[in-house]
Amino acid sequence: WEPEGPNLTAHPSDRVFALRDGEWVDLPPMPQARAAGAAVTIGDKIYVFGGQADNQLVAPTDVFDGTSWTTVADLPTPREHLAATTDGTYAYVIGGR
């Protein structure tokens, strides 16, 4: 319990757990900090959708190709606490608030 309330600050992700080596590896930070977003992997890229940062909904979609991040199209309706899945060709972003 914190008297001033919980710390809800979102931080950009900048580490990955390397399963092969069993250790955390530094990455370039995400362009947009976010919490309560969703992600899918299509091919060799990770797509991250939605979420919130600093009490604001996050619209941009960020894509990681294993080396760097790129920001692509905004969600038509920004949201947090959403789900995402893929059929290998399309990403489906579902629900949220």
Give tens-digit pLDDT for 41-91.
999 999 999 999 989 999 999 999 999 999 999 999 999 999 999 999 999
DSSP class of 44: T
Task: Answer whether 13's CB lies under 8 Å from 25's CB.
Answer: no
- Greatest CA separation found in the chain? 47
Which is nearest to 73 in space by CA: 65, 61, 84, 63? 61
pTM equals 0.85
Output DSSP code: residue 32. Answer: S
Query: Is residue 69 within 8 Å of residue 31, measured between CB atoms?
Result: yes
Q: Domains of the chain: which residue ranges?
A: 15-94
User: In this structure, how many other beta carbons lie within 10 angstroms of the beta carbon of residue 38?
Assistant: 23
